[in-house]
């Protein structure tokens, strides 16, 4: 085997007389003699035409391959899956969404591990693509760069996919006709790119750049722009630099880098899904990260970005004023970021930000530190007798900071949506959606359809919703998810009854059921777990292996006894 560290994996596959069969196979896909002496760079593409988020990624993957080839490597493009939350939301199909994160990670690890790639570029365009790619890269721990596929352009009249979901609720209320809903449906999604607000895709892209695993600027580029194609080309070349310097994901994805990611997510007003995904990514690279880290960091980091869903602007408008780099420089200069963290450029975060220009004067998207939208984090980790192991809320303050009301209990997302649209749900209710957790769902569906219906019906400040499921980055309102332990595992959420009084307190960070400990214990003693919903297939396997949402809902965490 070669002593060249840049070829330590591919050399095992192609070097020497005994590897002639492997070389013969590779010649058929375009290898020439000289290519067998080059580092092999796998390009993991999440291309699919089933969603606008990923429909253009085939071209981006080819550009990344050219970048690696020009820099002296030999690129090989391979595929992994994607699903579409925007299409599946509100259906049984959404059970597969979080599962897809694990499938993506497993497939990248499987292909690269089998084929002996020395380095990787992974290109993701939608919510689960990004953490799935990073988990796979972290497990392999070979020099790697992540590329975000880019954000979509706004639809007509400043609309996006959340506008469509909320139009459904507005129609149920009588505020929009079917013709108006159809007009929004027809024009809200104009072409390629991920959903346009600070929803989960743009949140995770920003977090990954802040962590140092993307090139500077990658998270804030329009999907069909020349800058995005250049980003891909440079990412391919960057892997060769990382190979030469033996810089691996474990060198970049440190505890301090995760703290940088959390800080940027908070400043941007990002999705609650970032909590789940960052915990999972940290697990993959053996970094100790917990819900309490989000609490600690959230006390000192303000929300600065006026971005959808709770704000006004779209990601494409942030792109136009410079993206997240000027924001990161503001945070760095305020002592809120670790500037000495290594990044995929081979330089530190502080070095990357050294020449970044400030935002243009008069811009309204990013507020100054002394005039934030919220002085501390919108991501609230709530504990209490309903969430002994924690829960996650996204509360900007616009909804208020406390909510108390009677429980209205539902066993599924579909039932909840029906009761919202038909008027059963009333102002003052606390909607409880249970058995939607990682194991109970299984798959921890997003509650985008019911939360959007609540907003569309004008109940955003008058109804709260709590669940052991999770929320889309497009969800907003008084909502609490990731409740642990989940109902399927006998968490207290399982024994809530209609009419029970529930208090959500985002000041004291409590989620409380107004029952005595004795009454709760008595109900739990009578409770029996419902049978698993699936006995075969990927959902059954996922339910059997997945751990708690408070630990990232990962499927490769072995017990201490294993």
Q: Tell which residue, 483, 476, 474, 526, has the closest CA to residue 502.
A: 483
CB 313 within 8 A of CB 306: yes
DSSP 194: B
394, containing H or E segment: strand 387-394
CB atoms inside a 10 Å sphere around CB 412 = 16
Assess whether the previous peptide bond of 485 is cis (omega < 30° from 0). yes
- Pairwise CA distance, residues 399 & 401, whole Å: 7
CB 50 within 8 A of CB 84: yes
Q: What tokens were used for 309?
A: 């869903």
- Pairwise CA distance, residues 19 & 24, whole Å: 9
End-to-end CA distance of the chain: 34
Pinpoint the alpha helices (H) of 412-498.
Answer: 413-421, 448-456
CB atoms inside a 10 Å sphere around CB 13 = 17
Q: Is 472 a catalytic residue?
A: yes
Q: Tell which residue, 106, 119, 170, 167, has the closest CA to residue 146.
A: 119
- Which residue in this structure is represented by tokens 């945070």? 331
HSE-CB at 419 with a 13 A cutoff on CA atoms is 19
Q: Render 89-101 in DSSP notation, one character per residue.
A: TTSGGGHHHHHHH
Q: Which residues contact 60 (CB under 8 A, 6 or more apart)?
A: 45, 123, 147, 149, 228, 229, 232
Q: Catalytic: which of 472, 475, 548, 550?
A: 472
Q: Render 39-58 in DSSP notation, one character per residue.
A: PEEEEEE---TTSTTTTTHH
- Pairwise CA distance, residues 241 & 297, whole Å: 33
- Pairwise CA distance, residues 44 & 117, whole Å: 11
Q: Give the CA distances from residue 380 to residues 74, 291, 383, 457, 507, in Å, rounded to whole numbers and listed in that order.
A: 46, 10, 10, 25, 9
Residue 237, classed as helix, strand or coil, is helix
Q: What tokens were used for 183?
A: 């007009």
Please tell me the total number of residues recorded for the chain in this structure.
Answer: 562
Sign of CA dihedral 374, 444, 254, 81: negative
Please give the positions annotated as active site.
Answer: 472
């Amino acid at each position: 085997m070669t002593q060249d560290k840049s070829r330590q994996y591919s050399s095992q596959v192609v070097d020497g007389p005994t590897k002639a069969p492997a070389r013969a196979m590779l010649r058929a896909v375009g290898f020439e003699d000289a290519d067998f002496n080059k580092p092999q760079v796998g390009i993991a593409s999440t291309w699919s035409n089933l969603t606008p988020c990923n429909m253009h990624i085939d071209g981006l993957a080819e550009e990344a391959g050219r970048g690696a080839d020009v820099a002296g490597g030999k690129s090989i493009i391979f595929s992994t899956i994607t699903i579409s939350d925007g299409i599946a939301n509100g259906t049984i199909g959404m059970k597969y969404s979080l599962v897809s994160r694990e499938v993506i990670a497993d497939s990248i690890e499987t292909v690269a591990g089998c084929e002996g790639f020395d380095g990787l570029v992974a290109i993701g365009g939608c919510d689960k693509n990004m953490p799935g790619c990073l988990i796979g890269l972290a497990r392999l721990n070979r020099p790697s760069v992540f590329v975000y596929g880019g954000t979509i352009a706004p639809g007509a009249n400043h609309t996006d996919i959340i506008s469509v979901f909320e139009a459904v609720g507005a129609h149920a209320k009588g505020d929009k006709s079917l013709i108006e809903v159809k007009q929004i449906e027809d024009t809200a999604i104009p072409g390629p790119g991920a959903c346009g607000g600070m929803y989960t895709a743009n949140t995770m892209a920003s977090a990954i750049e802040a962590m140092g695993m993307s090139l500077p600027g990658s998270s804030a580029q329009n999907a069909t722009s020349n800058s995005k194609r250049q980003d891909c080309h440079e990412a391919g070349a960057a892997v060769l630099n990382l190979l030469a310097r033996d810089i691996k994901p474990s060198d970049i994805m440190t505890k301090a880098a995760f703290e940088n990611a959390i800080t940027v997510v908070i400043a941007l007003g990002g999705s609650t899904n970032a909590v789940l995904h960052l915990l999972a990514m940290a697990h993959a690279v053996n970094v100790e990260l917990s819900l309490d880290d989000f609490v600690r960091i959230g006390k000192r980091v303000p929300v600065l970005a006026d971005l959808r869903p709770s704000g006004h602007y779209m990601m494409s408008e942030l792109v136009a004023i410079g993206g997240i780099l000027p924001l990161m420089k503001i945070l760095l200069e305020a002592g809120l970021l670790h500037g000495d963290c290594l990044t995929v450029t081979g330089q530190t975060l502080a070095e990357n930000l050294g020449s970044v220009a400030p935002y243009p004067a008069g811009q309204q998207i990013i507020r100054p530190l002394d005039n934030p939208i919220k002085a501390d984090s919108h991501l609230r980790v709530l504990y209490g007798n309903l969430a002994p192991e924690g829960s996650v809320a996204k509360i900007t303050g616009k909804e208020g900071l406390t909510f108390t009301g009677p429980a209205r209990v539902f066993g599924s997302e579909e039932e909840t949506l029906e009761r919202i649209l038909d008027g059963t749900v009333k102002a003052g209710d606390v909607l409880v959606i249970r058995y939607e957790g990682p194991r109970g769902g299984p798959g921890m569906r997003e509650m985008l359809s019911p939360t959007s219906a609540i907003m569309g019906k004008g109940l955003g400040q008058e109804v709260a919703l709590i669940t052991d499921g999770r929320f889309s980055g497009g969800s907003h309102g008084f909502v609490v998810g990731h409740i642990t332990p989940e109902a399927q595992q006998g968490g207290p959420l399982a024994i809530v009854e209609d009419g029970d009084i529930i208090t959500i307190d985002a000041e004291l960070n409590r989620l409380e059921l107004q029952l005595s400990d004795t009454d709760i214990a008595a109900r739990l003693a009578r409770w029996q777990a419902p049978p698993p919903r699936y006995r075969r297939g990927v959902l059954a396997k996922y339910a059997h292996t997945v751990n708690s949402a408070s630990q990232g809902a990962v499927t490769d965490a072995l017990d201490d006894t294993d």
